[in-house]
Amino acid sequence: MNEAETRAEHIDPCGYVGLRVTQACELDITVPINELQAELKQNLIHGLQQHFESKQHPK
């Protein structure tokens, strides 16, 4: 176990003890963090737009 893994064991994500998280490197994702951030941002915006539109125009 490396130092980062040891430090991470003491973090409770979102305040939930024992909540498991996934790191990009564990999934063999090798793109730079700035590219991941940009894609996450776009996905979040798209999801929020869809949610907002569904509330404005319910079926």
Domain parsing of the chain, residue ranges: 3-56
Amino acid (one-letter) located at 4: A
> Nearest 10 degrees: CA dihedral of 47, 48, 51, 54?
-100
- pLDDT at position 5 over 70: no
Q: Could you tell me the pLDDT band of residue 58, with boundaries at 50, 70 and 90?
A: confident
Selection from 47, 48, 46, 23 nearest residue 36 by Cα: 23
- pLDDT at position 3 over 80: no
Q: What would the pLDDT profile of 11-57 be if each residue is shown by its tens digit?
A: 787 888 888 888 888 899 999 999 999 999 999 999 999 999 998 98
